[in-house]
Amino acid sequence: MTGTSDADAPVALRRTSPPIIAVDAMGGDNAPEEIVKGAVLAVREMGLRIVLVGRRTEIASLLAEHDALRAIPVVHAEDSLAMHEGALASWRRPRSSAAVACRLIRRGDADALVSAGSTGGVVATSTVRLRTQHGVLRPALAVTLPTGETPTVMVDAGANADAKPEMLVQFAHLGCAYAQTAFGVQRPRVGLLTIGSEPGKGNKLVRRTAELLSAAAEDSTVMDYRGNIEGHDLLARKVDVIVTDGHTGNVALKTVEGTAAFAMDAVRTALTSSVAAKAGAVLQRRALRGLRERLDSETYGGAALLGLNGTVVIAHGDSRARGIAHACRLAHDLAAGDIGEQVRRRVHTRPSGWLHRLAQSEGPAEGR
């Protein structure tokens, strides 16, 4: 890949061509083997356009194993983020594979980044290098909960541990843009995650956000605000977008994962605890396998970091090839559907006056 031809093309032309996904080959517990394998899957089974970023010789020899040396170009990056590295990594490692992938996006040589690296490191690196879209206060992590055919989107799943009410209102818009782009939901129903179903329930952040969302929903045809959502409604398909701060959202997401794993383990134990049950289990192996796949986070491709100049998808750290391929497909769908433009429109068509007045009346938010 020479890297200049795409960047020189006019924007309108580039949009109509399929997006190019830059995959961080060095990020994740199973890097680079499973990442490269996943990229090969994405190209062969899904027909996506992929660039692998990382240590060239290592990646090339893996590609050779799959007989895919000519199917996927490689961009060299000598450094990589360690799994334990957090926000500081973005400054410390300008030559990391994630940072080099971001540079490809900025230069117009790629449209999206997929990484299974540490969430903190990838969020920080891509925020610093891709910058937030004009008018977006903070980028936010959107995840899809395994609720059925059309999954429910939860924003923020961990990018902003401390959030302000006006950020949460934007998270709602980011989530709506996501639901629309990835799943074709025309008028997403929005719920606010809190600790009671009645209005006025929750902490200060939620109570203020509820006021702002009610106001925003009044003069908008694109958001259908449905009020409070509780923890037991997360998988109940009551809404399309669940809005929360990054602390609560991350705890809730991991609680879903942990409880599903716990329940499946318990079912497995129960089903093999007696001779009769064991005989039954043999008959049911296939049915249970299908269920496990449904609850499996790999199928959903990972979290999207929304609000940046470029599409970013963060796969689970322990993703295997199939998970990486699904993350690539998600990145492709978001970039092809021009999620950036969807976000821009939603953030800019808000009556600009009231949000900023409200934001200022709360005092300056730190870190903006």
| Binding stretches for its own copies (CB under 8 A) | 84, 86, 120, 158, 161-162, 193-196, 198, 201-204, 206, 230-236, 244-248, 250-264, 266-267, 269-271, 273-274, 276-277, 279-284, 286-288, 290-291, 294-295
DSSP β-ladder status, 20-24 and 112-115: parallel
For 339, the token pair is 């999620």
Q: Classify each residue of 146-179 as buried b or exposed e, where b means 16 or more C-beta atoms within 10 Å of its C-beta.
A: beeeebbbbbbbbbbeebbbbbbbbbbbbbbbbb
Annotate 110-144 with DSSP letters as a single string: -SEEEE-S-HHHHHHHHHHHH-BPTT-SS-EEEEE
The answer to whether the CB of 307 falls within 8 A of the CB of 174 is yes
The answer to whether the CB of 175 falls within 8 A of the CB of 250 is no
Distance CA(150)–CA(109), nearest Å, equals: 32
In angstroms, give the least distance from the CB of 347 to its own copies.
24
Nearer to its own copies, 22 or 141 (CB): 141
In angstroms, give the least distance from the CB of 208 to its own copies.
12
Nearer to its own copies, 61 or 259 (CB): 259
In angstroms, give the least distance from the CB of 355 to its own copies.
23
Nearer to its own copies, 65 or 162 (CB): 162
In angstroms, give the least distance from the CB of 103 to its own copies.
27
CA angle 156, 157, 163 (to 5 degrees): 45
In angstroms, give the least distance from the CB of 265 to its own copies.
10
Nearer to its own copies, 97 or 297 (CB): 297
In angstroms, give the least distance from the CB of 236 to its own copies.
7
The answer to whether the CB of 230 falls within 8 A of the CB of 194 is yes
In angstroms, give the least distance from the CB of 193 to its own copies.
6
Nearer to its own copies, 73 or 231 (CB): 231
Nearer to its own copies, 127 or 250 (CB): 250
Nearer to its own copies, 58 or 233 (CB): 233
- Dump strand ranges (E) for the chain: 20-24, 49-54, 74-76, 112-115, 140-145, 152-155, 189-193, 224-229, 241-243, 303-306, 311-314
